Structure 1
Amino acid sequence: MGLCTAAKKFSRRGKYVVLIGLLLSVLAWIATFSGETDKTISFNFDPTLTLVRQDKLRDKLNSWTRAPGHWNLSTEKDECPKESPLLVGASKLSFESSLNLKDVESKNKGVAKGAYEPADCKARQSVAILIPHRNREKHLLYLLHHLHPFLQRQQLHYAIYVIHQAGDAIFNRAKLLNVGYLEAIKDFSWECFILHDVDLVPENDRNLYICDQQPKHLVVGRNVTGYKLRYKGYFGGVTAMTKDQFLKVNGFSNNYWGWGGEDDDLRVRVELQKMTIVRPPADVARYTMVFHKRDSGNQINKNRMRLLGQTTKMWRNDGLNSCSYKIVSVERMPLYVNITVDIGQPQS
């Protein structure tokens, strides 16, 4: 009898233990389920939290800035001031015959593979400088010597591309600039393009190398013309166009072999698109032209007036969309990207 009573008590106690265990399990399961549900709702359905996560991800992605040939991780920075505090205005230029590339490199330690960005603020524009080139090494050296600190004082994110024409065919400045544009946009989505002759050196850093809402002509005057505009409508030497503006006019014609005409052709293309050329003040847009003789491979283009008369009919099919070339080499030098290109021969 005692044993039966003890067994019954034990059985009831065991049931209680099992019930309590089940109850604890259910409570634990509910707590777990509740936590999981809260996490899921917060992540998938709360629009505020989702936007925050996306914004943080976007900021992180945007902190990567692509310089030619490599990626740099930049810390988050405030935008550079609208007017750089580093500007000095007009400067007296010097062109020392003893100057060499190593000297220029040593004074521009912040430039890597031809590219630069301000260390303490986020540049307002990203600018590609395109320089058509052949057999003008000393001119290029002088330009690099002055242009790098000039651009850095303007607090720009920039890269300099030198487009070197291979071979001995007559020089084609316009086609080289088309090549420069097409190759530069493979490196980075540049907002602004400065189309720059190698023998023109800017004298005043308030002549800003940035693009405007309209195409901009930066050479109002030069020393050899008494700092006056060469002629009404002149659009050569150094010009600034946004990526979209240059694309809209289909770039330059590819058919101007030799000196002259291609800048007037570009002006006509701009006017056909109902755009207006703007210029900085004359006392700011001043350049020194480094003296040189006419190159034997860059004689006057006798066909320039005939070609210019065809611009209105030809511009849609003659330009960026028909620019054929072969890249010989791309060298990412410390101070510039050197693109050597075979652009073919003039058609007879």
Structure 2
Amino acid sequence: MRHPYRKKIIYCGLVIIILIIFLHPDMNGHGTYDFIAKEDILRNLHAETAVNFTSTAVIDCEYYDILWDDTTLSQSLVDGDLVEGHGIREGGEYAPQECKPKYSTAIIVPYRDRAEQLRGFLVYMHTFFRRQRIHYRIFVVEQVDSRLFNRAKLMNIGAVAAMKAGFPCLVLHDVDLLPLRPANIYACSKCPRHMSSSINKFRFVLPYLTLFGGAIAIISKQYKDINGMSNEYFGWGGEDDDLYSRLEASNLKVCRFEPETSRYHMVPHRSTQKGEAKKKLLSSAKERMLEDGLSSLQYVEVATVLHPLFTHIMVDL
């Protein structure tokens, strides 16, 4: 005699199998990848401070304890305010007073029309950075014209400003990403580093091995050597893959920290309008890199304002 619920049982079983296949990290992305082990991170960091940076501290900052700090900052920080006496200088610059930092980092954030998200980002990131004992400054580059958003070009503009200020390390950072682990030190590695390889939106799985966007750290000289990012990507998508092609053409291998250290929370937001003709641009990425980038960067600087928590560069592309 046939079981009366046989078809339903088979159907439910198939649904469960499909869900397991779809949701399992190893079936839908790269759950594992080559990474710099936690005990090797410090020897792989590029220890250099900004040209004009000086510190009155007598002892050097130590970072070993930060690497093994497994705490997670609360995302509710985005809804709060910074504590008084935070020591952040005008323009969003900070350095610890109790010790001499080994790293100077410029954080470059391309931006438009996300005021509340930016406010939360700044509060969270300053709180996060002050635990890392680094010298840093946050540059927010805002596109004020009505053209499609050009994230990569804004990154180039911020990079030029940061390098002019003498920063040896650039972190190119989306405003919707919040790092969760203090061990993810915001300093450059000797190789260009994909910092945000483990994001909640992708179930903390790297979608594909050549992904190089979200939050990345690159030595200023390396960024100059690849001529920065392309200026041609208006609208969402393509510019990160173009950047990866430039690194590949320059024999610069991308590195990452372990997934647990590289965890980020992506704040929900409305999607940016996609641009067109990206495949054609990507197909010529390596051929264009010498004439498309920092060397061809043109824009109108509308204003630069030193706010208490960031340097605000407003531009017309």
Give 2:131's aligned residue: 153
In 1, are the aligned partners of 2:67 and 2:184 still within 8 Å (CA)? no
Q: 1:274 to 1:86 in 2, by over 3 A?
A: closer
Q: Distance in 2 between matches of 1:94 and 1:76?
A: 32
Give 2:229's aligned residue: 252
Give the drift of 1:326.
1.2
Give 1:141's aligned residue: 119
Higher helix share: 1
Identity %: 35
Give 2:60's aligned residue: 79
Q: Distance in 2 between matches of 1:96 and 1:110?
A: 18
Give the drift of 1:95.
3.6
In 2, are the aligned partners of 1:84 and 1:154 still within 8 Å (CA)? no
Q: Distance in 2 between matches of 1:305 and 1:181?
A: 26
In 2, are the aligned partners of 1:193 and 1:241 still within 8 Å (CA)? yes
Give 1:237's aligned residue: 214
Q: Does 1:111 pair with 2:88?
A: yes
In 1, are the aligned partners of 2:105 and 2:171 still within 8 Å (CA)? yes
Aligned residues: 268
The one of 256, 276, 293 equivalent to 2:253 is: 276
Q: 1:149 to 1:271 in 2, by over 3 A?
A: same
Letter in 1 for 2:274: I
Q: Does 1:182 pair with 2:160?
A: yes
Give 2:269's aligned residue: 292
In 2, are the aligned partners of 1:84 and 1:155 still within 8 Å (CA)? no
In 1, are the aligned partners of 2:173 and 2:216 still within 8 Å (CA)? yes
Aligned with 1:341: secondary structure?
Answer: strand
Letter in 2 for 1:160: I
List 4+ stretches of structure 1 deviating above 6 A.
Answer: none
Q: Does 1:336 pair with 2:307?
A: no
In 2, are the aligned partners of 1:215 and 1:278 still within 8 Å (CA)? yes
Q: 1:317 to 1:207 in 2, by over 3 A?
A: same
The one of 283, 287, 290 equivalent to 1:316 is: 290
Letter in 2 for 1:269: R
Q: Which has the higher contact order (CA 8 A, sep 6+)?
A: 2
Give the gaps of 5 or more residues in structure 1. Answer: 1-62, 68-72, 344-348
Letter in 1 for 2:314: T
Give the drift of 1:132.
0.2
Letter in 2 for 1:276: K
Q: Distance in 2 between matches of 1:237 and 1:108?
A: 31
In 2, are the aligned partners of 1:193 and 1:242 still within 8 Å (CA)? yes
Give the gaps of 5 or more residues in structure 2. Answer: 1-48
Aligned positions of 1:117-136 closer than 5 A: 117-136=95-114
Deviations 1:134-193 (A, max 9, x none): 011111122112211211111000000000111211100000000001112222x11110
Aligned with 1:201: secondary structure?
Answer: strand
Letter in 2 for 1:231: Y
Give the drift of 1:92.
4.6
Q: Distance in 1 between matches of 2:252 and 2:85?
A: 37
Aligned with 2:204: secondary structure?
Answer: coil
Q: Does 1:203 pair with 2:180?
A: yes
Letter in 2 for 1:172: N
Aligned with 1:312: secondary structure?
Answer: helix
In 2, are the aligned partners of 1:132 and 1:176 still within 8 Å (CA)? yes
Deviations 1:9-58 (A, max 9, x none): xxxxxxxxxxxxxxxxxxxxxxxxxxxxxxxxxxxxxxxxxxxxxxxxxx
Q: Distance in 1 between matches of 2:108 and 2:244?
A: 18
Letter in 2 for 1:109: H
Give 1:225's aligned residue: 202
In 2, are the aligned partners of 1:65 and 1:74 still within 8 Å (CA)? no
